[in-house]
Amino acid sequence: MVQRKMAIPAAAVLALGAGAAAAHTLVSNWKKNPDPLGGEPLRFPEGLERAVQLPDGALINTVTVGDGPTIVCVHGLTSNRNDWAPMAPTLLDAGFQLLAIDQRGHGGSTSGAAGFGATQLGDDLSVVFEALDVHAVALMGHSMGGMASMSYAVHHPDAFHERVDALVLVATAASLKTARHRIGLLLGGYVIPEFFRPQNDRLRVTTGLSAFGARPSLHMIDQAIEQFRSCSEAVRAVATGGLRDHDVHDLLDAIDVPTYVIGAERDQLIRPQQVRALADGIDGAELEMLDEAGHMLIWERHTQVAELVSAWLDQRVAVGRPSSDAQPDQDPT
């Protein structure tokens, strides 16, 4: 893999230093905010681990926990299955089984030779679903995971409709071909030298302002940084650059399963208008927008999002779970 390097203007380095005092003040204020994660580290529950070998050599790691109808969970850029840890208890208590996938190059999965981009990630999902013989009540993707899920749906429609009953798309977009995203993804596709990467409070500020809503907790920000650092810089760069071509807006009519789109009004990475455009492009899709939340609403409002998904599936999809008055020794089937 060829890594591109970028020259760093001296003025930019000086500007970073000038903002140190302001960054410290903002971080001090964030320390006072309540923590939705309760101070706990992000750890997806332990379960059955299975790996799928892809044609290009990538090894995709998956973990399955719980019993009941399956929700397949696909994380976003520079993250891994731990992104779903805050929502997991609520969904497990609601009677669902969760299958979490580490996308190529992320978490416990390797990169392979085929590259990145939403189309490739959708191809990966198709292989994983078939290899594990997955039949899911819902495929749920956050951010890049939602883009991969859409790609699976529109580029592998027969396989998708055979194996997926419903689609849940969280803080994601049908297209990144906007001027704003083109520039950001172009710059993000470069490997950033270590000395230029924000550190300490400046990194916290960058993360807090870009990934979260009105009142981020410092612990939550630090967990996001830990997730980010778990992904190698080389993978981050090539995976970011690979999203420049993501655009399935004109193909959304291929999605004819019940679809639930959830967005955040303060999302700085996937703007609210992009989320609304996605919902408008899928026939019959239902839209939920959360006030004051940001891109990581699956942490900030994890209980609410999990309850929304559970209730929506109960109403829109025949989930086949045991009734609430069933005896413990009854066969749920």
Q: 3-state class of 10 per DSSP? A: helix
Going along the chain from its start, the domains and CATH numbers come out as: 43-316 (3.40.50.1820)
pLDDT at res. 182: 62
pLDDT at res. 203: 87
Per the prediction, the chain carries an average pLDDT of: 88
Cα separation of 54 and 203, whole Å? 35
E-state strands within 122-205: 138-142, 167-170
Residue 240 and residue 176 in contact, taking contact as beta carbons nearer than 8 Å: no
With CA atoms as reference, report the closest residue to 215 among 32, 6, 9: 32
pLDDT in tens, 168-186: 999 999 999 876 666 666 5
pLDDT at res. 33: 96
With CA atoms as reference, report the closest residue to 292 among 25, 16, 119, 36: 36
Our measurement of the distance from residue 237's CA atom to the centroid of its chain's CA atoms, rounded to an integer in Å, reads 17
> The tokens 């980010």 sit on which residue?
228
Q: Radius of gyration of the chain from Cα atoms?
A: 20
pLDDT at res. 25: 85
Q: 3-state class of 288 per DSSP? A: strand
Cα separation of 187 and 248, whole Å? 22
With CA atoms as reference, report the closest residue to 126 among 94, 161, 97, 93: 161
User: Would you write out the chain's pLDDT as a tens digit for each of its 333 residues?
Assistant: 333 333 333 443 434 444 677 888 889 899 999 999 999 999 999 999 999 999 999 999 999 999 999 999 999 999 999 999 999 999 999 999 999 999 999 999 999 999 999 999 999 999 999 999 999 999 999 999 999 999 999 999 999 999 999 999 999 999 998 766 666 665 565 455 554 445 578 889 999 999 999 999 999 999 999 999 899 999 999 999 999 999 999 999 999 999 999 999 999 999 999 999 999 999 999 999 999 999 999 999 999 999 999 999 999 987 765 443 333 333 332
